[in-house]
């Protein structure tokens, strides 16, 4: 198979696309940038794509492509949905707290997620991706829906309307909406884990269902984290990515901490080469999104990418 295209994942630092080390790297196809729902729709039905347009134009001038991560989930106190979703009762708060921990006694706050299971909230998400698609379909390389892994804790802590089944159905409807809006650009769902199951022993078909649905509508798959030795990923998303049908696009990100992983068999730190070869030969990725965690990005990632043969 061919070699994956390499992108740099600049997260919320879009100004870094101007760095010479990025622009001068022929083996870096482009950048993955994160835009939140809140900033793209500051008021109901009023969209602001100014920053996205400017970043795309800059990248195009320098022969680079853009992947947009449409962020509706946070890992902090900040909610990423528009304010009107939080204040209009029709949207039931617009987002919900994520919960880390296996019981009510150990439950702790883990950030916010848009109410993906709520039809009213999903309808607004569909309008956003429709607006994005009208302007950017075919102009950006891909649009990414962030990871499906969320914690909701025990059932007594679930937000109104949430069930594991409704969440899985909501994810699939979001993928369909994005694919309808972007028939030419890639749509990638970061499907890594799903609430309500833990494979292989507790399998309700949620994660497998997301992959099957993405295949059926022509969407791509992937997720955060390339960790060749991590058991959780090897039992969840990795087998589904590596055995996907030919033609289904896959992209996975090298996140903070991934290059600090150690091989349990040897105790040695994982290398950029090991991650790249796992991504290419085992996962058969089409796109790799390399994070900028230091010292790895400057010391290891960019030099490695420069040494790869040109396509």
- 110 against 213, higher pLDDT: 213
pLDDT for position 233 = 97
Helices of type H across the chain: 20-23, 37-40, 50-61, 83-87, 119-136, 164-181, 206-217, 231-235, 237-242, 272-277, 296, 302-307
pLDDT for position 82 = 98
Contact, 147 vs 224, CB < 8 A? yes
Q: Chain-wide mean pLDDT for the chain?
A: 96
Give the tens place of pLDDT for each residue, 96-135.
999 887 666 677 888 999 999 999 999 999 999 999 999 9
pLDDT for position 104 = 67
Mutual angle of helices 164-181 and 119-136, in 10-degree steps? 20
Give the tens place of pLDDT for each residue, 249-269.
999 999 999 999 999 999 999
Please state the pTM of the whole predicted model: 0.96
Give the tens place of pLDDT for each residue, 52-110.
999 999 999 999 999 999 999 999 999 999 999 999 999 999 999 998 876 666 778 88
Give the whole-angstrom CA distance, residue 64 versus residue 21: 13
Nearest-CA neighbor of 28 among 251, 289, 222? Answer: 289
pLDDT for position 107 = 78
Contact, 221 vs 245, CB < 8 A? no
**Structural tokens at position 57:** 């134009």
Band (pLDDT 50/70/90 cuts) for residue 4 is very high
Domains and CATH numbers, the chain: 5-307 (3.20.20.80)
Does residue 39 surpass a pLDDT of 70? Answer: yes
Band (pLDDT 50/70/90 cuts) for residue 304 is very high
Band (pLDDT 50/70/90 cuts) for residue 156 is confident
Does residue 153 surpass a pLDDT of 90? Answer: no
Nearest-CA neighbor of 30 among 48, 53, 2, 56? Answer: 56
Contact, 44 vs 82, CB < 8 A? yes
**Vertex 175: Cα angle to 174 and 180 (nearest 5):** 100
Q: What's the distance, Cα to Cα, between the start and end of the chain in Å?
A: 13
Give the tens place of pLDDT for each residue, 272-292.
999 999 999 999 999 999 999
**Structural tokens at position 104:** 């009510």
Task: Give the pairing of strands 142-145 and 65-71.
Answer: parallel
Peptide bond into 140 cis (omega under 30): no
Give the whole-angstrom CA distance, residue 211 versus residue 148: 12
Interval 36-47 mean pLDDT:
98
Q: Quickly count: other Cβ atoms within 10 Å of residue 208's Cβ.
A: 17
Interval 296-306 mean pLDDT:
97
3-state secondary structure of 187: strand
């Amino acid at each position: 198979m061919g070699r994956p295209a390499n992108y740099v994942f600049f997260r919320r630092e879009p100004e870094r696309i101007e760095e010479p080390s990025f622009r001068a790297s022929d083996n870096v196809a482009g950048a993955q940038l994160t835009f939140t729902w809140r900033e793209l729709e500051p008021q109901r039905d009023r969209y602001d794509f100014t920053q996205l347009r400017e970043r795309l134009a800059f990248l195009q001038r320098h022969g680079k492509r853009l992947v947009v991560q449409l962020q509706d989930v946070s890992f902090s106190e900040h909610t990423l949905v528009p304010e009107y979703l939080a204040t209009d009762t029709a949207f039931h708060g617009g987002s919900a707290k994520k919960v880390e921990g296996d019981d009510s006694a150990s439950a702790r706050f883990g950030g916010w997620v848009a109410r993906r299971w709520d039809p009213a909230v999903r309808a607004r998400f569909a309008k956003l991706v429709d607006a994005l698609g009208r302007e950017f379909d075919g102009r950006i390389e891909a649009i990414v829906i962030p990871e499906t892994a969320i914690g909701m804790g025990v059932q007594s802590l679930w937000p109104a309307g949430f069930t594991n089944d409704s969440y899985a159905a909501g994810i699939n409807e979001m993928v369909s909406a994005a694919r309808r809006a972007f028939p030419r650009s890639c749509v990638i769902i970061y499907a890594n884990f799903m609430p309500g199951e833990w494979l292989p022993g507790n399998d309700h078909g949620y994660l497998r269902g997301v992959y099957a649905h993405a295949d059926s509508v022509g969407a791509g798959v992937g997720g955060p984290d390339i960790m060749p030795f991590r058991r959780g990923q090897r039992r969840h998303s990795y087998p589904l990515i590596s055995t996907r049908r030919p033609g289904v696009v896959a992209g996975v990100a090298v996140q903070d901490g991934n290059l600090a992983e150690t091989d349990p068999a040897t105790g040695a730190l994982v290398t950029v080469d090991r991650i790249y070869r796992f991504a290419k030969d085992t996962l058969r990725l089409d796109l790799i999104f390399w994070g900028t965690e230091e010292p790895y990005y400057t010391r290891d990632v960019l030099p490695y990418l420069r040494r790869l043969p040109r396509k």
